[in-house]
Structure 1
Amino acid sequence: MNNLTTSRIIRASKIALMSFISFFGLLVMYSNFTDYASNYEYVGHVLSMDTTQHNLNISYRAITSPMLHHRIYWFIITMEVTYTALCLLGTYHLFKNINSSPEEFHEAKKFSIVGLLIVIFIYYLCIQVVGVEWFDMDTSQIWNAKDWARHIIDFIFPLLIYVAIKIEH
């Protein structure tokens, strides 16, 4: 009997893609914990707006307090740990339910979906909206992660749609 059906391949692909983003989260966490200083420096420069084109109309937005830099950076790290844990948990639940009914497999997606929403919160809202639009990060020649964040969102948003949609049987 042939168990390799399109539905099984779709389910397996959702598990594989969730494992990819989980691995990305593990690498991000590793980087943040083993190279805190470099990543903190990035956050500090973006918040301080000290490497952006000087525009007096928006310079009031700068946050120059190192204490606030650390707190905001730890908020970001906490969100990254949270999305990684949820994506790992979601991958596990999808894998555990790969042979379950369509309804059970669909219900197993909840941790993955929440994890992916947190990824979008970090890389779209925090970096692209707040970093670029509020802190003018895109005018910095050194501390500009706009394109890097966009590439992550270019992967995550379609992944969220693909995982969430109920197309497997």
Structure 2
Amino acid sequence: MNTLTTDKIIRFSKVILMSYISFFGLLVMYSNFTDYASNYEYVGHVLSMDTTQHNLSIRYRAITSPMLHHRIYWLIITLEVTYTAFCLLGTYHLLKNINASKEKFHEAKRFSIIGLLIALFIYYLCLQVIGVEWFDMDTSQTWNAKDWARHIVDVIFPLLIYIVIRVER
């Protein structure tokens, strides 16, 4: 009889948590494709810095070209699709190798790790670093996703650590 050991639970937890972040990515993609206008409007306001505190010493950073707004938004969408695809692929590989040796299971983590790193790039570097620090997004009363992005990073970063560590045998 196959017993449910702590090692099995740890392996299954990695698959389940990766499926959660993959599902989040699918919802974000769905939102971007079905409500392009609203999300584009958000990107446009952040890049234009038109709703931030009017600090004239940093206004030179604003990007006001609608063409560039669309291109940057499509870059973000492309990155979101990419991280979601890697996370889905990572979830599949973890599940496929759930009963494999510890070495094979560890190697099955590579797509998950890549997906999570891309997600960190989007939500930490793009939104929290560039959005907040460069485009002053946190001073906008309307178009401010600093806390939203922080909550996502608060899930993704520990998940990345948990996926990477070799605790399963």
**Structure 1 unpaired stretches of 5+:** none
SS at match of 2:141: coil
CA distance in 2, matches of 1:3, 1:85: 32
Name the TM-score, length of structure 2 as normaliser. 0.99
What are the equivalent positions in structure 2 for 1:14-53 lying under 5 Å apart?
14-53=14-53
CA distance in 1, matches of 2:86, 2:57: 40
Structure-2 residue corresponding to 1:132: 132
CA distance in 2, matches of 1:34, 1:68: 21
What are the equivalent positions in structure 2 for 1:100-139 lying under 5 Å apart?
100-139=100-139
1:3 offset after TM fit, Å?
Answer: 1.8
What are the equivalent positions in structure 2 for 1:45-64 lying under 5 Å apart?
45-64=45-64
User: What is the root-mean-square deviation in Å for CA atoms of aligned residues?
Assistant: 0.5
1:2 offset after TM fit, Å?
Answer: 4.4
1:54 offset after TM fit, Å?
Answer: 0.1
1:111 offset after TM fit, Å?
Answer: 0.1
1:104 offset after TM fit, Å?
Answer: 0.2
CA distance in 1, matches of 2:92, 2:19: 9
Structure-1 residue corresponding to 2:159: 159
CA distance in 1, matches of 2:3, 2:95: 16
SS at match of 1:53: coil
CA distance in 2, matches of 1:149, 1:87: 18
CA distance in 1, matches of 2:47, 2:29: 21
Runs of 4+ residues over 3 Å off in structure 1 = none
> Which amino acid letter does the alignment assign opposite residue 94 of structure 1?
L
**Structure 2 unpaired stretches of 5+:** none
1:8 offset after TM fit, Å?
Answer: 0.2
Structure-2 residue corresponding to 1:88: 88
Cα displacement string for residues 82-131 of structure 1 (whole angstroms, at most 9, x for unaligned residues): 00000000000000000000000000000000000000000000000000
CA distance in 1, matches of 2:68, 2:2: 58
Cα displacement string for residues 147-168 of structure 1 (whole angstroms, at most 9, x for unaligned residues): 0000000000000000010110
CA distance in 2, matches of 1:85, 1:114: 10
SS at match of 1:57: helix
1:59 offset after TM fit, Å?
Answer: 0.3
Cα displacement string for residues 11-33 of structure 1 (whole angstroms, at most 9, x for unaligned residues): 00000000000000000000000
